Structure 1
Amino acid sequence: MTRLFNDPAAFADEALEGFAAAHRGWVRPVTGGVVRAVGTPSGQVAVVVGGGSGHYPAFSGLVGRGLAHGAAVGNVFASPSARQIRSVARSAHGGAGVLLMYGNYAGDVLHFGQAAERLAGDGIEARTFAVTDDISSAAPHESAKRRGIAGDLPVFKAAAAAAEEGLPLAEVLRVAEHANARTRSFGIAFSGCTLPGADHPLFTVPEARMAVGLGIHGEPGIGEEPLPTADEAARLMVGALLKELPEDVAAPAGQRAAVILNGLGSVKYEELFVVYRKVAELLADAGVDIVDPEVGELVTSFDMAGVSLTLTWLDDRLEQLWRAPADTPAYRKGAPAAQEPATEPAPVAEDTDDTRVPAATEQSRAAAATVLAALNALTDTVDTHADELGRIDAVAGDGDHGIGMRRGTTAALRAAVRAHDLGAGAGTVLVHAGDAWADRAGGTSGALWGTILRSLGTRLGDQDAPDAEAVARGVSDASDAVRRLGGAEVGDKTMVDVLVPFADALTEAAAAGDPLTEAWQRAAVTAEKAAAATAGLLPRKGRARPHAEKSLGTPDAGAHSLALITRAVHGVLPDHPLDQH
């Protein structure tokens, strides 16, 4: 378990601060992460990687010559927000565009995609690429749905080495695609990891058993088997990877491969070496020529006791990129040129100003007090139910939904209080709260809840006193935006299964002339029924998808939290009416 921390909510920020202080020769801190201390050479594509905290040396430890130009780092097991990614990318930009790289998780896809759009608005050409190396997370014919685990490293490195050669952005992206297509990983675990402040692991493995095909966020494995010897573990992982070769690799014999045996946090180096001796033997027996193997902790999961094996099947070009020198805090290869003295580039201007809010009418400022009361109520509700939400999420996911919701609601409330104290109207209070939620929570739920509050705030504005119909239109806008952004529809076992019927019921009640309090009550009942009904669905989106059967009989955590929030908000409406019906 994680023993050394202060406030668990501040753990990721404090860890990043300490990392930057310890490696000032390589990196300098910027809002949202770190960039190379010496900056990106003019005219070179900047490769910016990122993901949640808890995986060191991924992602901040991979910033330096020959590897990443910057890393955006989110909260524990949560993707960085679009604002954080954009900040890091702008700081790393060397004038030739930015390639944003990350593991294929829904939150990362959402936030990095939003960041690319915002960078385009800044006049910076940006592309995104998700690594999909984990063979246990989807079948070969659905490889685009696979998650990224330790295969992040060889794919990141190939793209970054291509960028160091001065290739244009389109070519760097093509290199990433080629490296990813030839990279496969498979992992096992013997115990789950425990997050800072938690008193139990995200998942457990029965005594004398191991989880097979786990994810790096504590997602349960796709199966269990008896605890193996080191040689048996090697045979399992090598056998799984040799069964699935890239399309352009006919047979392992005569092939070259980069090999990574990765410890996930608690498996010690000596244990890894015992396993690797058998891995090397088995690959040699199969006729594989191993090139520059790596054995150690490269993509971890806090204190998870587990190990993964990654093979990148090399051709002449990929071997050149794999062997290219690199010099980062956590990964070094070859003999790069001497490190240049650290410089202090001009800081990138932030695009927000928390000391100013748009002018608002007295009616809208009065409604803002209701918004603040609603945010207080939902924050209290999430805090009360955070452990329950985590347990529901852990059935088929990674168990961090309650933690992420708590981070998001706390940040949203804090931002709303600031905006309200500055005289903001209802719309601006909601927009500030939504942006803070997305920024601090990260992950899929952070992006989606940020979108919900921003959509509602945009619809309400700062001029009119909101009535039931205006609120219903705002909720419908939010429903449309969430489906567009996340790609989920009713039946996928996500929060959409509650948001859509809630919006529809609210719209119907408002159109019938019900005042907001009564309309919201009817819609909240609909939301609660819809959330309970998700127990009978199989997930088709997100981290729970690979473990769909495990979730049958359990409601979706995101759907359940949304239903709880609709009920909590209804509780403040009689005392703080938004309209005068």
Structure 2
Amino acid sequence: MSPLADDPARFVEDALEGFVDLYRDQVRLVPGGVVRAVPAPRSQVAVVVGGGSGHYPAFCGVVGPGLAHGAVVGNVFTSPSTADAVSVGAAAAGDAGVLMITGNYAGDVMNFTLARDELRRRGVDAHFLVVTDDVASAPADEVDKRRGIAGDLVVFKAAGAAAAEGASLDEVVAAAEHANARTRTLGVAFDGCTLPGADAPLFTVPDGVFGLGVGIHGEPGIGEVPACTASELAGLLVDRLLQERPEGAGPRVAVLLNGLGRTKYEELFVLWRAVRARLDAAGLEVVQPDVGELVTSLDMAGCSLTLVWLDEDLERWWTAPAQTPAYRKGALPAASDAAGAGDAGRDAAVDDAWPTAPSVDDAGPRV
């Protein structure tokens, strides 16, 4: 069925207004997306994430201490504009520069590359990086062609944690690149998703099969496998990801079992039980696993499994505290939320109405 909406053409704007009203102590609207309501110190590198809507908690739900400083929000399954990325990037950036991260999709790559260049012209030290964790979308020798799916969260987390440690822009970029290089994901769909206002799903999965290798924009996957039990699915997902274990990787792994929007948490718990047994049998040591809806695809029925081969740095960044509207880990020091409260012009109240993004030429300074 089509998602609940008043006017499907305003689905994203209406959703963002509701989201920011609920979490106005944590985020505020700026043209093109959201930034932290209480900014980080100006000396901290800003991490700005983004992409189309329909993936909540990605991307606006992970803005907060220990994770992103801002999120650029496009229409459903549509890249944000260059102007939007410039606006949010400028709003989030302090004096240490900004790293912008998206999945590896043509529209995102084009618009965020242009935004990076525009920010540099304005004197902001900006860098852009894409996530490439989806093992189904290209072979191992063509990693640069792979999509970014649930592994987005891992890369965002590493970059945000490194920034919170006071790392330089080059060091934050290196942290994100290292996380991306150690992260692999494979997804499976049980049924397709439906766009707001549409009367039919983007695709359907035939009875008796699962769609294997699905993306997060309503793609039906690269193939089909016979429908199976949770234990059999766990074996399929784990065994495929283990084939891409990075050279020299140790036994400690972070794991994300991600629901794509319509799969019940109880179903994910059943699958996790089987995944954990498979990982244990492979001699892997699981570190702070996450199970739930992390990077979704509207109301798609299905899930994805992500493995991250940890080293000392990645484990520290993965387990570091974070507090956002949709994702929390550990406990932040009491003073951290107020660290940047004295930055003039960065703690304005939430706008009452959805702002119109400026063009690239007239996008204003950071707020």
Q: TM-score, normalised on structure 1?
A: 0.58
Give matches, 1:444-523, under 5 Å: none
Alignment-derived partner of residue 294 in structure 1: 290
Corresponding residue number in structure 2 for 1:330: 326
- Give the alignment of 1:415-434 within 5 angstroms: none
Which SS does the other structure have where 1:12 is aligned? Answer: helix
SS at match of 2:124: coil
* 1:62 counterpart letter in structure 2: V
Change (3 A) 1:174 1:267: same
What are the equivalent positions in structure 2 for 1:171-190 lying under 5 Å apart? 171-190=171-190
Given residue 259 of structure 1, which amino acid in structure 2 is its aligned partner? V
Tell me how far apart the structure 1 counterparts of residues 31 and 343 of structure 2 sit (CA, whole Å): 15
Q: Where does residue 57 of structure 1 map in the other structure?
A: 57
Given candidates 269, 272, 278, the residue that maps to 2:268 is 272
- C-alpha separation between the residues in 2 aligned to 1:40 and 1:347? 10
Amino acid at match of 1:327: Q
Q: Give 1:311's aligned residue.
A: 307
- Residue 137 of structure 2 aligns to which amino acid in structure 1? S
Question: Which residue in 2 is equivalent to 1:15?
Answer: 15
C-alpha displacement of 1:346? 2.6
- 1: distance between equivalents of 2:235 and 2:8? 39
Structure 2 residue aligned with 1:47? 47
Q: Distance in 1 between matches of 2:256 and 2:51?
A: 20
Q: Distance in 2 between matches of 1:74 and 1:337?
A: 33
- For 2:352, the equivalent position in structure 1 comes to none
Aligned equivalent of 2:351: none
In structure 1, the partner of 2:355 is: none
- Structure 2: 5+ residue stretches without partners: 348-357
Aligned positions of 1:138-537 closer than 5 A: 138-249=138-249, 255-338=251-334, 339-340=337-338, 346=345
C-alpha displacement at 1:201, in angstroms? 0.6
Match of 1:195, SS? coil
Which of the two has greater strand per residue?
2
Aligned pair 1:125/2:125, yes or no? yes
Question: Residue 61 and residue 344 in structure 1: after superposition, are their counterparts in 2 closer, same or farther (change >3 A)?
Answer: farther
Amino acid at match of 2:290: E
Question: Aligned pair 1:88/2:88, yes or no?
Answer: yes
Per-residue CA deviations over 1:72-115 (Å, capped at 9, x if unaligned) read 00000011111111111111111100000010101100010010
Query: What is the alpha-carbon distance in structure 2 between the residues aligned to residue 2 and residue 66 of structure 1?
Result: 35
SS of residue in 2 equivalent to 1:278? helix
Q: Aligned-pair distance for 1:6?
A: 1.5
Partner SS state of residue 307, structure 1: strand
* Partner SS state of residue 149, structure 2: coil
1:292 is paired with a residue whose SS is coil
Determine helix, strand or coil for the equivalent of 1:114: helix
CA distance in structure 1 between the partners assigned to 2:172 and 2:3 by the alignment: 41
Question: SS of the residue aligned with 2:72?
Answer: strand
Structure label with greater radius of gyration: 1
Distance change >3 Å, CA 345–CA 21, structure 1 → 2: farther
Higher helix share: 1
Q: What amino acid is the match of 1:213?
A: G
The offset of 1:16, in angstroms, is 1.0
What per-residue deviation string (whole Å, max 9, x for no partner) do you get for residues 318-357 of structure 1? 0011010000000001110234397895379xxxxxxxxx
Taking only the aligned residue pairs, the percentage that are identical comes to 61
Q: Deviations over 1:483-505 (max 9, x none)?
A: xxxxxxxxxxxxxxxxxxxxxxx
**Could you list the per-position Cα deviations for residues 455-510 of structure 1 after superposition, in whole angstroms to 9, with x for gaps in the alignment?**
xxxxxxxxxxxxxxxxxxxxxxxxxxxxxxxxxxxxxxxxxxxxxxxxxxxxxxxx
The 1:141–1:200 alpha-carbon spacing in structure 2 relative to 1, beyond 3 Å, is same
Does the 8 A contact of 1:50 with 1:73 survive in 2? yes
CA contact (8 A) 2:262 2:299 kept: yes
**Post-superposition offset of 1:248:** 3.3
Per the TM alignment, residue 179 of structure 1 is displaced from its structure 2 partner at its CA by 0.6
Cα deviation 1:425-477 (Å, max 9, x = unaligned): xxxxxxx9xx69xx9xxxxxxxxxxxxxxxxxxxxxxxxxxxxxxxxxxxxxx
Deviation at 1:13, TM superposition (A): 1.1
Q: In 2, Cα distance between the equivalents of 1:78 and 1:307?
A: 21
* Paired position in structure 2 for 1:72: 72
User: Hey, what's the Cα distance between the residues in 1 that align with 2:17 and 2:346?
Assistant: 17
| 8 Å Cα contact 1:2/1:302 also seen in 2 | no
Distance 1:53 1:343 in 2: 32
State how far apart, in whole Å, the 2-side matches of 1:11 and 1:114 are. Answer: 26
Check the 8 A contact 1:40/1:93 in 2, yes or no. no
Aligned-partner SS, 1:136: coil
Equivalent-residue separation in structure 1 for 2:3 and 2:286 (angstroms)? 38
CA deviation digits over 1:114-153, x for unaligned, max 9? 1001101110010000000000000000001000000001
SS of equivalent residue, structure 1 residue 234: helix
Please tell me the residue identity of whatever aligns with 1:54.
Answer: G
Amino acid at match of 1:346: G
Distance in 2, Cα, partners of 1:344 & 1:320: 29
Give the SS at the match of 2:279: helix
Tell me which residue corresponds to 1:407. none
Task: Look up the SS of the partner of 2:221 in the other structure.
Answer: coil
TM-score (norm 2): 0.92
Contact 2:47–2:159 (Cα < 8 Å) also in 1: yes
1:467 counterpart residue number: none
1:191 partner letter: D
SS at match of 1:320: helix
Q: Shift of the alpha carbon at 1:17?
A: 1.2
The question of whether the paired residues in 1 share the 8 Å contact of 2:3 and 2:194 is answered with no
Q: Which amino acid aligns with 1:183?
A: T
User: In 1, are the aligned partners of 2:81 and 2:111 still within 8 Å (CA)?
Assistant: yes
Q: 1:290 to 1:14 in 2, by over 3 A?
A: same
Give me the CA root mean square deviation.
1.8
Q: How many residues align?
A: 348
Residues in 2 aligned to 1:21 and 1:111: alpha-carbon distance in whole angstroms: 28
- 1-side partners of 2:220 and 2:74: how far apart? 22
- Alignment check: 8 A CA contact 1:156 1:176 kept: yes
CA contact (8 A) 1:63 1:328 kept: yes
Q: Residue 266 of structure 2: SS of its match in structure 1?
A: helix
For the 8 Å contact 2:42–2:343, the answer to whether it is kept is no
Moved over 4 A (4+): 341-345
CA distance in 2, matches of 1:154, 1:3: 28
Given that 2:3 and 2:195 are in contact with CA atoms closer than 8 Å, whether structure 1 keeps it comes out as no
Structure 1 pair 228/343, CA: closer, same or farther in 2 (3 Å)? farther
